Amino acid sequence: MHAPDFWQNNGFLARALAPLSRLWRAGAAWKAATTPAFHPGCKVICLGNFTVGGAGKTPSAQAIQAILRDLGHSPHFLSRGYGGTISGPHRVDLTTDTATQVGDEPLLLARCGPTWISRDRACGARAIKSAGADVIIMDDGLQNPSVIKDFAIVVIDGATGFGNGRVMPAGPLRETTQSGFSKVAAAIIIGPDQTGISQRIPAHVAVFSAQICAQNPDEFTGQNVVAFAGIGRPEKFYQSLRDCNANIVAARDFADHHMYKPGEIQDLQGLAQQHGAHLVTTEKDLVRLPLALQHDIKTLRIALEFDDLHGIKEIIKTVFANGA
């Protein structure tokens, strides 16, 4: 699904669904109160967001992993493996695992370093500790109470912020911002802060700004492209292509985490041929394509770059100040 438009305003639908939001919040509170909390004995850094949809957690997790490695640590990623069939704990193997088995995001994380999936996050954390990691990067775990975090970071899309500020289904929030900010020590705002989110962040939360930067922009400069994406906000991808001076002659949206069928890609290839254009998608989408169809499709490679890299490094160092 894509985020509905009414999540960005406090119109009739948002107000009508507000009572259901209270049920969602009650369910989350019950889960938090009844789930035993476990600490694996190594540091746990958690990245997540308060909202549904793509805020940029995966590139943020990759950037934090690079910082940890630069500081001499041995980080392993822990993901739920959303969309995959394997329940885990399972260490992702890039030579054999597919997105159908482990999900798309773990495959991207595994390109950077050891990555595990586990629907039971506590079991996954135990496995990672046993494998020799000194720090776990927990991807999308802010609302999971089963693992105790040493340091939690909320990732925020600067363009959309928190939408209408309401909890699902009346808005995009997984929990209230008051509840969310009580859990985190830092916030990463990706892109220009168009909704004034930085003014609403409590004083105890360190705020860092960052940008999603294309790593291969020259491949698309002046090129006609047919773009497609099955991510939380496809328009972000299309805008990145435009920023590379690509000419998007057609674009097709799919549901987030969509598993592509050969016929769908063949239709897109036909559209690209009709326009004399290249077919291009995201790295996250590419891993969900049938292997035989991946070679003829270009991807825009991205990375997160902090405006204050020194600052984020220094605050991460404090996580280890008192040892493991």
pLDDT confidence band for 98 (50 / 70 / 90): very high
Go through 216-248 and write b for each residue having 16 or more CB atoms within 10 A of its CB, e for each that does not: ebebbeebebbbbbbbbbbebbbebbeebebeb
Pairing of strands 43-48, 151-157: parallel
Which residue did the predictor score with more confidence, 54 or 215? Answer: 215
Overall CATH class of domain 36-212+305-319: alpha beta
Across the range 80-97, mean pLDDT stands at: 94
Across the range 64-76, mean pLDDT stands at: 97
Give bridge partners of residue 206 from the DSSP assignment.
Answer: 186
Q: Is 141 annotated as a binding residue?
A: no
Q: Is 51 annotated as a binding residue?
A: yes
Burial class (CB in 10 A: 0-12, 13-18, 19+), 44: buried
Q: Is 205 annotated as a binding residue?
A: no
Q: Is 27 annotated as a binding residue?
A: no
Is the pLDDT at 1 greater than 80? The verdict is no
Given strand 224-229, what is the order of strands in its sheet?
247-253, 224-229, 278-282, 298-300
Is the pLDDT at 296 greater than 60? The verdict is yes
Is the CB of residue 311 less than 8 Å from the CB of residue 142? no
Across the range 266-294, mean pLDDT stands at: 93
Is the CB of residue 129 less than 8 Å from the CB of residue 297? no
User: How many whole angstroms separate alpha carbon 127 and alpha carbon 191?
Assistant: 35
pLDDT confidence of residue 53: 76
Pairing of strands 115-117, 75-79: parallel
Give bridge partners of residue 224 from the DSSP assignment.
Answer: 247
Is the CB of residue 152 less than 8 Å from the CB of residue 44? no
**Phi and psi at residue 151, in whole multiples of 5°?**
-155, 125
Q: Is 58 annotated as a binding residue?
A: yes
For the chain, domain boundaries: 36-212+305-319, 216-300
Is the pLDDT at 12 greater than 80? The verdict is yes
The tokens describing 316, both together, are 């991460």
Alpha helices per DSSP H over the chain: 12-16, 18-34, 57-70, 99-102, 104-110, 121-130, 177-181, 234-243, 262-275, 283-286, 291-294, 309-319
pLDDT confidence of residue 281: 97
pLDDT confidence band for 47 (50 / 70 / 90): very high
List all residues 6 or more positions away from 102 whose beta carbon is below 8 Å from its beta carbon. 81, 84, 86, 90, 92, 117
Q: Long-range contacts for 240-245 (Cβ within 8 Å, ≥24 apart)?
A: 240/212, 240/214, 240/300, 240/302, 241/280, 241/300, 243/214, 243/217, 244/214, 244/217, 244/218, 244/219, 244/220, 244/300, 245/217, 245/220, 245/221
Is the CB of residue 6 less than 8 Å from the CB of residue 14? yes
Which of 137-141, 224-228, 292-296, 316-320 has the least mean pLDDT?
Answer: 292-296
Across the range 81-104, mean pLDDT stands at: 94
pLDDT confidence band for 5 (50 / 70 / 90): confident
pLDDT in tens, 25-46: 888 888 888 888 999 999 999 9
pLDDT confidence of residue 262: 86
Q: Is 56 annotated as a binding residue?
A: yes
pLDDT confidence band for 294 (50 / 70 / 90): confident
Helix, strand, coil % in the chain, rounded to nearest 5: 35, 25, 40
The pLDDT mean for the chain works out to: 93
Helix (H, G, I), strand (E, B) or coil at 10: coil
- The percent of residues above 70 in pLDDT, for the chain, comes to 98
pLDDT confidence band for 93 (50 / 70 / 90): very high
Give bridge partners of residue 317 from the DSSP assignment.
Answer: none
Is the CB of residue 207 less than 8 Å from the CB of residue 189? yes
Q: Is 311 annotated as a binding residue?
A: no
Across the range 2-11, mean pLDDT stands at: 84
The tokens describing 81, both together, are 């493996």
Q: Is 270 annotated as a binding residue?
A: no
- How many angstroms separate the Cα of 277 from the Cα of each of 75, 83, 231, 238, 263? 41, 31, 22, 15, 19
- The percent of residues above 90 in pLDDT, for the chain, comes to 82
User: How many whole angstroms separate alpha carbon 207 and alpha carbon 205?
Assistant: 6
Rounded to two decimals, what is the model's pTM? 0.92
pLDDT in tens, 181-232: 999 999 999 999 999 999 999 999 999 999 999 999 999 999 999 999 999 8
pLDDT confidence band for 106 (50 / 70 / 90): very high
Is the pLDDT at 142 greater than 70? The verdict is yes
